[in-house]
Structure 1
Amino acid sequence: MSKITSSHGMLPALSVEEEIAARLREFVQDKEAFSPNTWRQLLSVMRSCHRWSQEHQRTFLPMAPGDLRDYLTFLQTAGRASSTISTHASLISMLHRHAGLLPPNASPSVSRTMKKINRVAVVTGERTGQAVPFRLADLRVLDNAWSGSARLQDRRNLAFLHVAYSTLLRVSELARLRVSDVTRAEDGRLILDVGYTKTIVQTGGLVKALSTLSSRRLTEWITLAGLAGEPDAYLFCKVHRINKAIVNTCSPLTTPALEAIFAQAWRAAGQGKKVKANKDRYLGWSGHSARVGAAQDMAQQGYSVAQIMQEGTWKKPETLMRYIRNVDAHKGAMVDLMEKQS
């Protein structure tokens, strides 16, 4: 990297490197502008791409379009899903933009490579993975099994699943909930002040209401865990083996810990279901299952795409349609036409 065109014209290599380094330092200082998951993904992609660049004697930053093409092709050869490769390309572009560099993705050759990767993936049968849906019927089965349990962990898990299904919140959003975010409406049902989500970041915040049964289960958990007098405590916390809640005001439960609740629920109520393996994943309920199941239940009951998107805070209809495509398959205009003619 001897010289690079910048807003100041042609600068010596050392000055350009210092300027890029300064921009990247500012980028890191402002990392709170991005969700923790986006930042983790960016760091993971940087490590992967930098390692590949070193092994193949390529320049990591700035990256030439030809090098990016080869890197993306390498990912495809390594068996990465087309959606994962697209994420790598997007985050590499993001890194270049914030470093004040021209993203290599701007080259038509890179666009052609991505089109080729996507086309090959579709033609060879790749399909977007989808979490096994956790539906209302599953919640009712677990409610019957766990609502009278003497194990505090079961009561926590049941309250968590009620909230997860009722709100369609993501796991990271559920983890952030604190006791002070819970208020009671005049009719006795609970209201959750979510604050913000992955797609909604605004000062007005987001409010979610719970049904009568879900309100009861969450109230039971708060009472049994002794959280009523702990407004700053996280709503869902660890449970000690002596059947006592470990009140925590410092850090929420990790994603693996919350994923484990879905795994325990699967062992308790879901193992009889027939599940088609997808990319060696999704063999049981996972962190996204409640969102998928709730969306499918709403679609099956005739709620509009706009209503479901509002409940799940989706910004793009395409994302939601991946979850409900099987449910809505027989609601198409052509099927309706044929049925009316028969």
Structure 2
Amino acid sequence: MNSNLPILPGITGLATAQDIAPKSIAESLLDDRSILEKRLKLQLERPIDEVDNQEIRRLISSLLADFANNDSQLSENTLKALFINWAIFEQWCNDKQVISLPSSSQNFIQFINEKKSLVKMNTLSQYRWAVSKIHLAAGLPSPSHTQKAIDIVTGIRKNKVISSELVDQAQPFREVHCDAIFELWRHDPNPLISRNLAILVTAYETMLRESELARIELSHLTYHEDGRATLLIPFTKSRKSGEPDTTMLSRQCVDTIRKYLSLDVNDSVYLFKKMRRNGKPTSQNQAISRYTIDRVFKQAYDCLSLNRPELLEGISLWSGHSARVGACQDLLSAGYSTLEVQQAGRWTSGQMVFQYGRNILAKESAMAKARWNK
């Protein structure tokens, strides 16, 4: 079998409609993908000397093409991460001169064992997810799902915890930082600075992820007589049912957005327009990228480093996720419950609240309170 099977649209040698035509009543009750998966499974279960390698290649290619053409359940960023992490495994297989698709569980275990000392557990988990996702997309059993592979990954995770490897966390962009940047940038006439300030304040107040922040449309805003506004959030990472969330924007946030929009530089459906560094809008009407949002936070960090360095003590460079972390910590510090913060951040569980606010929550523990005056 070819170890370099493409995994994007444009695959050749695909099964035709005639090839997928049901051959039994049972198959007539299935969709095309299920028929392909059923036939691939039958091929894989044949004795090695009876396997039709050409048919297996064609079935795998057809299943991958189906996945590539019906990937609406995955966001653009998720797809990018999938292919980037799969490419790392595929390159490793090429270097070892072993087949990447389908991969044996033994080869996958060797890959994980070689990578475990080079990357953190989160990255290993991304590798495992990508390898599994591509195999399942191709109608193949995942090499990471054998009991031995599961046990080895579990053991690696345990050893990394014992060795005190901590999960990387974005540096917090807190209210004090947001207010300081607001005072420094609020009167700047540059449209780019005006847009970037609106991005920062909106990111902090809404606790949106980068991709969600970038996708805000002008039509998602409903302005109220008291100067505030409601933001409709039609789609989030944790809510994919089509039922939208909403969040309130403060008067300060609304004023910042209105000032930016009053500069008449936005002809896009999106709230945050793509702009050049000179402050002029681009002709593109696409949503800004997460890299743009990262640059905005870097610009804010550099500005405070120059003007208010005392606010950055113990804090390294921000990223687009920093406002989400900082807002979580501020809400916990203000006395809001873990559940309230979880709801504000639209998390499905309290796990991330505990992760982002572990130092703050430690101060609120029963023992910390009992020994406060000791």
TM norm structure 2: 0.81
1:37-61 CA distance string (max 9 Å, x none): 2211111122111111111122212
> Are residues 5 and 211 of structure 1, via their aligned partners in 2, closer, same or farther at CA, if it must alter by over 3 Å?
closer
Q: Take 2:138 and 2:277, find their aligned partners in 1: how far apart are those partners?
A: 49
Structure 1 residue runs of 5 or longer lacking an equivalent are: 277-282
Q: Take 2:264 and 2:181, find their aligned partners in 1: how far apart are those partners?
A: 20
- Greater shift in the superposed pair: 85-94 or 267-276: 267-276
What is aligned with 1:52? 92
Q: Take 1:194 and 1:31, find their aligned partners in 2: how far apart are those partners?
A: 22
Aligned-pair identity (%): 27
Q: Take 2:281 and 2:356, find their aligned partners in 1: how far apart are those partners?
A: 35
1:25 counterpart (65, 68, 71): 65
Q: How far is the alpha carbon of 1:135 from its aligned partner?
A: 0.5
Q: Take 2:119 and 2:347, find their aligned partners in 1: how far apart are those partners?
A: 26
User: Is this contact kept in 1: 2:83–2:130, CA < 8 A?
Assistant: no
**Match of 1:6, SS?**
helix
User: Is this contact kept in 2: 1:152–1:225, CA < 8 A?
Assistant: no
User: Is this contact kept in 1: 2:229–2:249, CA < 8 A?
Assistant: yes
User: Is this contact kept in 2: 1:164–1:291, CA < 8 A?
Assistant: yes
1:66 counterpart (102, 106, 127): 106
Q: Take 1:166 and 1:182, find their aligned partners in 2: how far apart are those partners?
A: 14
Q: Take 1:47 and 1:242, find their aligned partners in 2: how far apart are those partners?
A: 37
> Are residues 92 and 237 of structure 1, via their aligned partners in 2, closer, same or farther at CA, if it must alter by over 3 Å?
same
**Match of 1:326, SS?**
helix
Write the letter of the residue equivalent to 1:260.
R
What is aligned with 1:263? 298
Q: How far is the alpha carbon of 1:322 from its aligned partner?
A: 1.1
User: Is this contact kept in 2: 1:132–1:275, CA < 8 A?
Assistant: no
Q: Which has the greater radius of gyration?
A: 2
What is aligned with 1:305? 338
What is aligned with 2:82? 42
What is aligned with 1:141? 180
> Are residues 216 and 46 of structure 1, via their aligned partners in 2, closer, same or farther at CA, if it must alter by over 3 Å?
same
TM norm structure 1: 0.88
- Greater shift in the superposed pair: 113-122 or 23-32: 113-122
Q: How far is the alpha carbon of 1:256 from its aligned partner?
A: 1.7
2:353 counterpart (310, 320, 326): 320
State the Cα RMSD in Å. Answer: 2.3
1:2-37 CA distance string (max 9 Å, x none): 9x9714753523222222222111111112211112
User: Is this contact kept in 2: 1:156–1:221, CA < 8 A?
Assistant: yes
**Match of 1:133, SS?**
coil
Alignment of 1:146-225 (within 5 A): 146-225=185-264
1:122-148 CA distance string (max 9 Å, x none): 233321111110001111111111111
Structure 2 residue runs of 5 or longer lacking an equivalent are: 3-38
